[in-house]
Structure 1
Amino acid sequence: MELQKRFNDLMKQDVKPFLSERGFVRKGLNFNRKTDGLIYMFNFQKSAGNSADNVMFYVNCGIYAAELAQIQSKGLLVEPKEAECHFRARIGDLAGDMPDRFAIHPDTCMNELRNTLLGGLDEAIHVYDTMTSARSIVDYYMSGPYLHLSEESFHLLLQSNEIATAKQYLKDLQEKYGAENRWTIFENKYRAIFHAFGVEFDAL
């Protein structure tokens, strides 16, 4: 219980005040900040393998976009879970020098852990501050290019009449994933989206 108390104190005395100052509201192990059309989130996920001598946790980052939820024909969520966010990452993806997971042992220096964690949250918030719209999320996944959110991305681009950008994204995806067996499934989905917007589908 001693290590669990250290974790609870870290959340209450350090993380909550730090994030509250930056507009985040705590509910359990989730911290949300809402803006017009977007919800930014930090989720603290405790490891299933915790014990009296070892408390481990992950920090998950997420952004929920009302515009992308509408494209998905899903009802808008007031308090989405991290798994329901459109942008999802571990804090190490957004902040440099972050461990894959944090661990509290009997000999852990809590000051050092606190400084590392709060520094990582600060870096992640700076990334959040650059992602101010559904299009920002789409740009992130196009830059990969990633398959995640690709169908919604094509919808967003084509409804904005950004046909050249959509075709370049299609080309980038095909170059990266075209040799995989599953590519045909994605290609058929993309073709249907292009046709729905009356745009010629140029499979390479």
Structure 2
Amino acid sequence: MSDLEERFADAVAAIGRVLKTHGFRKKRYVWTRVGDGVVHEVDLQRSHGNSPDSVRFYVNASAYVAAFARAIGDRVPENLASATAQYSTRFETISEWPTDRVDMERDAEAVSSALPSAIEQVVTHLDGITDEASLARTLFDSGSFLDDDLFAWFCATGRLADARAQFAAARERFGTQDRWPRLAANFDETAQKYGVALS
């Protein structure tokens, strides 16, 4: 094993120590925590450009809420850990880690100090996703204005002001693009399904 691969193994171990204390279970480079209808997951994604002289990886965080799925008519699997996450983000967007990846050469010192702290911040973020409403808030706050399931959930649960706010945010962000008529039609189709008027 090369020196960089040994450092990578140390980084995996450092992440694992943090996540284990918060109830996550590890399978290869994926840590999963299943609660009451909620799944939180943290995974490492090795860079495709890795070589013996360059080892880098990304950290992803995701969440799934069964009640959110049920509200919009999606099937909930018996094994919640096998469900497709409704929310996913990279750890640099929810922690103080300064770049979009961990580079085992550049970040050698940070692996033992800043990386565990960043993973704690990731856990704190996931701890805030406890039910369908907090999942919806997280999706909206993260800028997922084109998320069909989020819009459907707002409509299905009678949160009409939130549905209209998502549509308005999407129109402001994407309204000048050529694809906007198609996107707007998707919003309108979902709104009509639930009897919601967008204006």
What TM-score comes out, normalization by structure 2 length?
A: 0.86
Following superposition of structure 1 onto structure 2, how do residues 10-49 of structure 1 map, counting pairs within 5 Å?
10-12=11-13, 14-49=14-49
Question: 1:146 maps to which residue?
Answer: 144
| Shift in CA distance, 184/73, structure 1 to aligned 2, threshold 3 Å | same
| Shift in CA distance, 140/74, structure 1 to aligned 2, threshold 3 Å | same
Question: 1:200 maps to which residue?
Answer: 197
* CA deviations over 1:54-105 (Å, ceiling 9, x no partner): 2111111111222344437355363348xx4211111100002432111123
CA distance in 2 between counterparts of 1:97 and 1:10 reads 14
| Shift in CA distance, 119/188, structure 1 to aligned 2, threshold 3 Å | same
Unaligned runs of 5+ in 2: none
Identity of matched residues, %: 22
Higher relative contact order (CA 8 A, sep 6+): 2
What TM-score comes out, normalization by structure 1 length?
A: 0.84
Q: What is the number of residues matched between the two proteins?
A: 196
CA positional deviation for 1:138: 1.9
Question: 1:55 maps to which residue?
Answer: 55
Unaligned runs of 5+ in 1: none
CA distance in 2 between counterparts of 1:16 and 1:144 reads 26
Following superposition of structure 1 onto structure 2, how do residues 35-184 of structure 1 map, counting pairs within 5 Å?
35-70=35-70, 71=72, 73-74=74-75, 76=77, 78-80=80-82, 84-105=84-105, 110-143=108-141, 145-149=143-147, 151-184=148-181
CA distance in 2 between counterparts of 1:143 and 1:201 reads 20
Whether the aligned pair in 2 keeps the contact of 1:72 and 1:152 (CA below 8 Å) is no
Say what the alpha-carbon RMSD is for the aligned residues: 2.2
